[in-house]
């Protein structure tokens, strides 16, 4: 599970949505912004958003969100510092397996260049 210090605070969402670079896969898309050291975003921060349009039941939304935090939390030491990233699930995300979701999340992270070499 991802610790609270590595999660995106609500105050950053409007800036991220306006200025973030977008990466997309079939069931997830990612917005990423790099902050400079003066902005005091030292750790890379992540968030997972699942709207009620994607999953009607809160149980399903929370499962998707927790799965995302679990995946990113395992690799938290392997990410570059100074980034803020938000994953948005699309409607068909519940229909695919966890393995496929894992592959899509890792692919998007690689495309965004968030992994250390």
Average pLDDT over residues 69-86: 91
Half-sphere CA count of 10, side-chain side, radius 13 A: 0
Mode of pairing for the β-strands spanning 28-34 and 21-24: antiparallel
Encode pLDDT of 98-117 as tens digits: 999 999 999 999 999 999 87
pLDDT of residue 43: 82
pLDDT of residue 93: 93
Report the mean per-residue pLDDT for the chain. 91
Residue-range domain boundaries for the chain: 4-112
SS3 annotation, the chain: CCCHHHECCHHHHHHHHHHCEEEECCCEEEEEEECCHHHCCCCCEEEEECCCCCCCCHHHHHHHHHHHHHHHHHCHHHECCCEEEEEEECHHHHHCCHHHHHHHHHHHHHHHCCECC
From 18, 22, 44, select the one nearest 32 (Cα to Cα). 22
pLDDT of residue 39: 57
What fold characterizes domain 4-112?
Answer: Ribosomal Protein S5; domain 2 (3.30.230)
Average pLDDT over residues 8-28: 93
The answer to whether residue 2 scores a pLDDT higher than 90 is: no
Percent of the chain with pLDDT over 70: 95
Q: pTM of the full predicted structure?
A: 0.91
Structure tokens of 13?
């969402």
Average pLDDT over residues 2-9: 88
Cα 114 to Cα 55: distance, rounded to the nearest angstrom: 28
Encode pLDDT of 25-62 as tens digits: 999 999 999 987 655 557 889 999 999 999 999 999 99
């Amino acid at each position: 599970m991802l610790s609270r210090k590595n999660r995106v605070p609500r105050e950053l969402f409007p800036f991220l949505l306006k200025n973030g670079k977008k990466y997309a896969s079939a069931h997830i898309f990612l917005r990423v912004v790099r902050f400079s050291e003066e902005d005091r975003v030292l750790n890379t921060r992540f968030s997972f958003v699942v709207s009620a349009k994607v999953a009607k039941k809160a149980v399903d939304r929370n499962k998707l969100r927790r799965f995302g935090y679990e995946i990113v939390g395992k690799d938290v030491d392997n990410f570059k510092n100074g980034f803020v990233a938000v994953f948005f699930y699309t409607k068909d995300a519940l229909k695919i397996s966890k393995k496929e979701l894992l592959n899509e999340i890792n692919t998007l992270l690689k495309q965004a260049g968030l992994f250390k070499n």
